Chain A
Amino acid sequence: MIRHLLSGGDLDAGTATEILDTAAEMATVAGREVKKLPALRGRTVVNLFYEDSTRTRISFEAAAKRLSADVINFSAKGSSVTKGESLKDTALTLQAMGADAVVVRHPASGAPHRLANWLDGSVVNAGDGTHEHPTQALLDAYTMRARLGRLAGLHVAIVGDVLHSRVARSNVLLLSTLGAKVTLVGPPTLIPVDWAARAGVGSAATDADPGTDVCYDLDAVLPGVDVVMMLRVQRERMNDSYFPSAREYARRYGLDGPRLRRLPEHAIVMHPGPMNRGMEITPEVADSPRSTIVEQVANGVSVRMAVLYLLLGGNNR
């Protein structure tokens, strides 16, 4: 059994499926009168958030509380971090307080990996910089499986700002482990160069990776996909101009009503949130019955319960 969850690539197909199956059982708790399980009684989970977050932090907090763990919320604002305390010193403080698991979000890619070396407890990556966000990938996979009944053989288009997206990176790793085919769609400036090269798009056509495709034309991809995952355009991480204007981006890569109707009947629309309505997705699409955006939030709690249970439920040392 794994000790940390740092990357979507940490999970083999068996473990990932076990998490999704466990999450399905955890989901039934939400419908009960007593929405609590005793599995993590007496364990302490610290939410260590160096970056703003609404849904992820609340989701992890709800998940830990439903499993009866004690939850300590730490946000960098208003803490000793503003006095200059380093990540390592903060980590050792948490260790001394007896944290069994640390859920960490950090603007620097790789921060959770560093933490995992310093701490005795489990570390869960809740998003590090532009690197990874594995529980989001798991809840996305869970949502796809719940809506479409399977993951193997699905064709998933991940559309938009792939370059800055930790959600995209974790999803590519996890979905290919679980047998889905991923096509990355976006303007060439927002697709990582090495992925484009590996997929044989653009100038440097080398050995192609059959698992992940790259395409710069959204309309060409839409008719053949089972899932469209729209990514938020992360203006806060953009120091350069990656596209001429928001209007041009929306016209070429935004999902609107006419594009929605070009999708196959069964296809679903996902978005990890928060959305820029009118930018990558129009309100008509976001609020349509084919959008799973609200479901994704609900599934997030179940999936995070499953992750915390599998990391902390037994004696895995």
Chain B
Amino acid sequence: MACPPAAHPSPERQPSVKVILASADVQRVVDRIAHQILEKTQGAADTVLLGIPTRGAPLARRLAARISTFEDVDVPVGVLDITLYRDDLRRHATRAVGPTQLPPGGIDGKRVVLVDDVLFSGRTVRAALDALNDVGRPASVQLAVLVDRGHRELPIRADYVGKNIPTALAESVKVTLVETDGADEVRLCGGTR
């Protein structure tokens, strides 16, 4: 869904745009998730971060960087493309396949933390679980998301949530990151408020 820039003045009847997290907030949230991963995994030993493209990939790299700053452990990072595992492949024109890069040590027997920007219906995460199944057998799988906007359609929940944002279905949550879009920001667009 197209989302106009937040700086744009929104006169009457224009869809509203609200900045939920500004740049500094995004960094704080990433820092907190990094701490939580360290806490919950007791030092992030045998842990692998797998980002789901597009924006999960840079988020996973940031988390790994923060974790190594906080506790001096190197957490392997990878990218897991889920395009070919989507349940809506046939409803759209053919989607381009993204890269999948597993860390050199693989994921067998490791604790895998999937990283994505927004948790919504849960279908992306389901696809990611199927994809994981085909590339190895992790000891356990956890989920970290920057934003949880609700409206789950599958029995899936996140282990680490940066920010819970109550939304209406008509609204959209737009995450931008420096690596992919030039700036860190989370915006809530659309709907009438």
Chain A: residues with CB nearer than 8 A to chain B?
A: 1, 18, 21-22, 25-26, 28, 32-34, 36-39, 309-311, 313-316
With contacts A314-B90, A315-B91 known, is A18 near B135, CB below 8 A?
Answer: no
User: Is B92 close to A, CB under 8 A?
Assistant: yes
Shortest Cβ distance from residue A87 to the other chain B in the assembled complex, whole angstroms: 28
Residue from the list A1, A28, A33, A38 in contact with B100, Cβ < 8 A:
A28
Q: List 8 A-B contacts (CB under 8 A).
A: A18-B96, A25-B98, A25-B99, A25-B100, A37-B84, A309-B84, A311-B94, A313-B84
Taking a contact as CB atoms under 8 Å apart, the answer to whether B99 and A314 are in contact is no
Return the CB mask of B80-106 against A: 1 if under 8 Å, else 0.
010011000111111111111000000
Taking a contact as CB atoms under 8 Å apart, the answer to whether A314 and B97 are in contact is no
Complex Cα distance A21/B100, Å? Answer: 12
Taking a contact as CB atoms under 8 Å apart, the answer to whether B98 and A314 are in contact is no
User: Is B134 close to A, CB under 8 A?
Assistant: yes
Contacts of A34 in B (CB 8 A): 133-135
Closest to B83 in A: A39
User: Is B25 close to A, CB under 8 A?
Assistant: no
Taking a contact as CB atoms under 8 Å apart, the answer to whether B134 and A314 are in contact is no
- By DSSP majority rule, is chain B's interface helix, strand, loop, or mixed? loop
Taking a contact as CB atoms under 8 Å apart, the answer to whether A38 and B85 are in contact is yes
Number of B residues near A (Cβ < 8 Å) is 20
Closest to A29 in B: B134
User: Is B46 close to A, CB under 8 A?
Assistant: no
Chain B: residues with CB nearer than 8 A to chain A?
A: 81, 84-85, 89-100, 130, 133-136
Taking a contact as CB atoms under 8 Å apart, the answer to whether B94 and A309 are in contact is yes
Closest to A314 in B: B94
Complex Cα distance A313/B91, Å? Answer: 10
Shortest Cβ distance from residue B88 to the other chain A in the assembled complex, whole angstroms: 10
Complex Cα distance A16/B76, Å? Answer: 34
Shortest Cβ distance from residue A317 to the other chain B in the assembled complex, whole angstroms: 10
Complex Cα distance A26/B81, Å? Answer: 12
Contacts of B133 in A (CB 8 A): 34
Taking a contact as CB atoms under 8 Å apart, the answer to whether A39 and B89 are in contact is yes
Question: Lowest 5 CB-CB distances: which A-B pairs, in order?
Answer: A314-B94, A39-B84, A34-B134, A313-B94, A37-B84
Complex Cα distance A21/B81, Å? Answer: 14
Contacts of A18 in B (CB 8 A): 96
Residue from the list B84, B85, B92, B99 in contact with A315, Cβ < 8 A:
B92
Complex Cα distance A37/B135, Å? Answer: 10
Residue from the list A26, A33, A38, A313 in contact with B95, Cβ < 8 A:
A313
Taking a contact as CB atoms under 8 Å apart, the answer to whether B81 and A25 are in contact is yes
Complex Cα distance A25/B97, Å? Answer: 7
Contacts of B100 in A (CB 8 A): 25, 28
User: What 8 new A-B contacts, CB under 8 Å, besides A18-B96, A34-B133, A313-B84?
Assistant: A33-B136, A34-B135, A36-B134, A37-B84, A39-B84, A314-B90, A314-B93, A316-B93
Complex Cα distance A309/B130, Å? Answer: 18
Contacts of B95 in A (CB 8 A): 313-314
